[in-house]
């Protein structure tokens, strides 16, 4: 995005046009969400010049910035929607798998069975064929058949053992998958985390991303910067106009006075390049309403991309980085002035 350059005066009709562009731009921003890939910002100082390029340049730069912001907003909104959809799909899959596993366990309990290293062959209530995965040997039977044999032999203890094995296997193969979305499970050195744990991690990521001083400071800077940009443009123009009138150059003074409103509004909308900080030599680039580092960009691009990252999805843009990296040290810079 670019910073506006001031130019010569233009007729009154063009001056009224800027209000319509500003309103139209606000409508575009409200309708279109954000996107990631940020272009390199081209910052230019607001100059006092004569001619009709002043308002024209303000409008052109504002239009370019709106177009870029609109495109970025659409992409960021798409990425955020995808990330939220992936999280919802992930949790939905866990719940669906839980019900499917519980259903399978219940089915095997009635008509099927399991093989376990502790209990051996455990058959379903009405029968089933069970295979030992280690040997490949299969056996067929049913709990009712085993109990009938146990009671015929007068072996009540074995009958209890058979019922106990069937009950424990049924409980294990139905309750375990049913509770899997709510409880962590570690197997083979790998851990499948539960939904509460994953939600807790997402909450932690969000708090770490947005709940820090740098983020708050960056937000405050983006709110204050357009006003500061306008004041810088105003004071610079007033100084130049005063110098011109004092020197008797009333023609240039009147021309620059006529351009004052476009310079100030251009800085407010498109930002201001103060130049180089005399203390540390850093560029002093103050965002306006529409360009890189602005509040609108934070709301529509940067913060949605940061939320995408917090949700655990990859992002292909530097917009997910803290907005503070795109802004000058506004308060420190003001002190140095």
Distances, alpha carbon 135 to alpha carbons 115, 120, 132, in Å: 11, 12, 6
Compute the Cα dihedral for 191, 197, 198, 203 and give only its sign: negative
Q: What does the pLDDT look like over 210-267, one tens digit per residue?
A: 988 999 999 999 999 999 999 999 999 999 999 999 999 999 989 889 989 999 999 9
What pLDDT, on the 0 to 100 scale, is given for residue 274? 84
What pLDDT, on the 0 to 100 scale, is given for residue 45? 38
Alpha helices, H only, the chain? 12-31, 53-110, 143-152, 156-179, 195-210, 213-246, 250-270, 295-297, 303-310, 330-336
Average pLDDT over residues 192-215: 90
Where do we find the tokens 């910052």? 43
Residue 319 has what DSSP assignment? G
Buried b or exposed e, range 214-231, using 16+ CB within 10 angstroms: ebebbbebbeebbebbbe
Where do we find the tokens 């106009």? 241
Contact 70/32 with Cβ under 8 angstroms? Answer: yes
Contact 176/166 with Cβ under 8 angstroms? Answer: no
**Between 279 and 42, whose confidence is greater?**
279
Q: What does the pLDDT look like over 251-303, one tens digit per residue?
A: 998 988 998 999 999 999 999 988 877 777 777 889 999 988 899 999 999 99
Hey, is 37 helix, strand or coil? coil
Contact 139/67 with Cβ under 8 angstroms? Answer: no
Q: What does the pLDDT look like over 65-111, one tens digit per residue?
A: 999 999 999 999 999 999 999 999 999 999 999 999 999 999 999 99
pTM of the model: 0.64
What pLDDT, on the 0 to 100 scale, is given for residue 34? 36
Residue 190 has what DSSP assignment? E
**Between 336 and 231, whose confidence is greater?**
231
Q: Which of 162-166, 182-186, 188-192 is predicted least confidently?
A: 188-192
> Residue 320 above 50 pLDDT?
no
> Residue 201 above 70 pLDDT?
yes
């Amino acid at each position: 995005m670019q910073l506006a350059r001031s130019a010569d005066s233009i007729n009154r009709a063009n001056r009224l046009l800027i209000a319509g562009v500003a309103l139209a731009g606000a409508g575009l921003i409200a309708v279109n969400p954000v996107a990631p890939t940020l272009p390199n910002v081209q910052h230019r100082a607001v100059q006092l010049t004569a001619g009709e390029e002043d308002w024209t340049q303000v409008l052109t730069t504002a239009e370019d910035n709106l177009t870029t912001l609109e495109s970025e907003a659409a992409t960021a909104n798409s990425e955020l929607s995808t990330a939220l959809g992936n999280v919802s799909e992930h949790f939905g899959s866990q719940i669906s798998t839980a019900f499917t596993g519980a259903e399978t366990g219940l089915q095997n309990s009635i008509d099927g069975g399991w093989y376990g290293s502790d209990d051996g062959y455990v058959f379903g209530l009405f029968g089933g064929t069970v295979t030992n995965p280690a040997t490949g040997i299969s056996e067929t039977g049913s709990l009712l058949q085993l109990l009938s044999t146990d009671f015929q032999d007068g072996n009540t203890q074995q009958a209890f053992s058979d019922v106990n094995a069937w009950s424990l296997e049924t409980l294990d193969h139905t309750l375990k998958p049913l509770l899997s979305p709510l409880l962590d499970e570690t197997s083979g050195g790998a851990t499948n985390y539960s939904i509460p744990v994953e939600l807790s991690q997402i909450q932690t990521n969000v708090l770490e991303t947005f709940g820090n001083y740098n983020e708050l400071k960056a937000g405050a800077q983006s709110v204050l910067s357009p006003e500061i940009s306008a004041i810088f443009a105003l004071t610079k123009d007033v100084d130049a106009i005063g110098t011109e009138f004092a020197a008797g150059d009333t023609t240039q003074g009147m021309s620059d006075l006529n351009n004052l409103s476009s310079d100030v509004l251009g800085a407010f909308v498109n930002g201001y390049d103060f130049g180089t900080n005399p203390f540390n030599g850093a560029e002093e680039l103050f965002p306006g309403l529409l360009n890189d580092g602005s509040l609108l960009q934070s709301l529509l691009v940067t913060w949605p991309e940061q939320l995408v990252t917090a949700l655990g999805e990859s992002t292909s843009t530097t917009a997910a980085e803290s907005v503070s990296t795109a802004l000058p040290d506004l308060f420190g810079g003001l002190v140095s002035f």
